């Protein structure tokens, strides 16, 4: 009887140790930003634009593929309500980052509008920068909310106001001739897919997000924690949405029409 009791006690002890071991080895997401420079490619586009659905679409996807892991990509749609993907963030982005002309597609690399045939040299130029700050985040969908937990780290001492934006984007959207009204892409063919569509952000009326710095000067090594919730519209497919983050700096040149300067970005997408 005593022997059986000891065996039972041993069994319980082993079970407890195994349970503790599982708890202790649970993976923790490391949100420490990488000291790595990313580039940004933002496009203004529309379902009503035939050029957007042909060479604009081709060049956007090619630049993503050629720079996968080194670039964040955003597609701002205009011409709503005809284009069902227009976000109010477009007007904020366009208002202080204006295009050089009214034609679309309009491509921006960093702080400047770039000819769609000259994207790569401008991307390469940004990638050669020494990063002054970085961002990294994790996301979780809870009901109709995208919950974001992030850190922003400064790798050098900086002055001025820095903002961080989190864009809720959607890819895999049908744009073929049989797509729903508002999604059919002019000049799009069977199998046409809209990607990297900006749906919403951490600031509902400001494409440049929220101010992250707390003082006029930010010392080297400063880390800011940031959390937010972004509402998911029921019509968006949760399996196709993701978050892209960008750090911006307020342009100290008040006379410039470009009010926010690109600093760095990050997301976990693999662009095929």
pLDDT digits (tens, 9 = 90+) for 125-162: 999 999 999 999 999 999 999 999 999 999 999 999 99
pLDDT band at 101 (very low <50, low <70, confident <90, very high): low
CATH 2.170.190.11 fits 39-266, yes or no: no
What are 167-182's pLDDT values in tens digits? 999 999 999 999 999 9
Structural domain spans, the chain = 39-266
Nearest to 266 by CA among 238, 240, 246, 250: 246
pTM listed for this prediction: 0.88
Higher pLDDT, 9 or 116: 116
179 close to 246: Cβ distance less than 8 angstroms: no
User: Closest by alpha carbon to 166, among 55, 85, 53, 268?
Assistant: 268
Do residues 183 and 85 touch, judged by C-beta distance below 8 A? yes
- 179 with 171: CB under 8 angstroms? no
Q: In this structure, what token pair is assigned to residue 223?
A: 């880390």
Residue 25, pLDDT > 50, answer no
pLDDT one-digit tens code per residue, 204-262: 889 999 999 999 999 999 999 999 999 999 999 999 999 999 999 999 998 888 899 99
Average pLDDT over residues 46-70: 96
123 — pLDDT class (breaks 50, 70, 90): very high
158-168 core/surface letters (b: 16 or more CB in 10 A; e: else)? beebbbbbbbb
Cβ atoms of 199 and 168 within 8 Å: the answer is yes
Helices (H) and strands (E) in the chain, counts: 4, 16
Tokens at 19, concatenated: 């349970």
Tokens found for residue 63: 């630049």
Residue 62 and residue 56: Cα distance in Å, rounded?
10
Higher pLDDT, 230 or 7: 230
């Amino acid at each position: 009887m005593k022997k059986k009791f000891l065996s039972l006690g041993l069994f319980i002890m082993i079970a407890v140790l195994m349970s503790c071991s599982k708890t202790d080895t649970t993976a923790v997401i490391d949100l420490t930003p990488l000291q790595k420079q990313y580039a940004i490619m933002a496009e203004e586009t529309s379902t009503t634009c035939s050029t957007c659905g042909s060479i604009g679409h081709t060049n956007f996807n090619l630049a993503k593929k050629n720079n996968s892991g080194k670039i964040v990509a955003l597609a701002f749609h205009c011409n709503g309500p005809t284009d069902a993907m227009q976000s109010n963030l477009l007007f904020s982005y366009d208002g202080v980052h204006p295009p050089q002309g009214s034609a679309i597609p309009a491509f921006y690399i960093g702080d400047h509008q770039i000819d769609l045939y000259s994207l790569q040299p401008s991307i390469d130029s940004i990638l050669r920068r020494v990063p002054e700050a970085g961002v990294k985040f994790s996301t979780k969908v809870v009901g109709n909310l995208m919950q974001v937990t992030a850190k922003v780290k400064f790798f050098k001492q900086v002055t001025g106001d820095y903002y961080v934006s989190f864009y809720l984007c959607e890819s895999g959207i049908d744009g073929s001739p049989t797509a729903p009204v508002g999604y059919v892409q002019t000049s799009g063919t069977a199998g046409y897919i809209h990607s990297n569509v900006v749906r919403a952000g951490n600031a509902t009326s400001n494409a440049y997000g929220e101010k992250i710095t707390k003082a006029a000067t930010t010392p080297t090594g400063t880390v800011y924690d940031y959390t937010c919730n972004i509402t998911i519209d029921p019509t968006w497919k949760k399996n196709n949405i993701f978050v892209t983050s960008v750090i911006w700096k307020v342009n100290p040149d008040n006379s410039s029409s470009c009010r926010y300067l690109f600093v760095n970005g990050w997301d976990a997408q693999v662009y095929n």
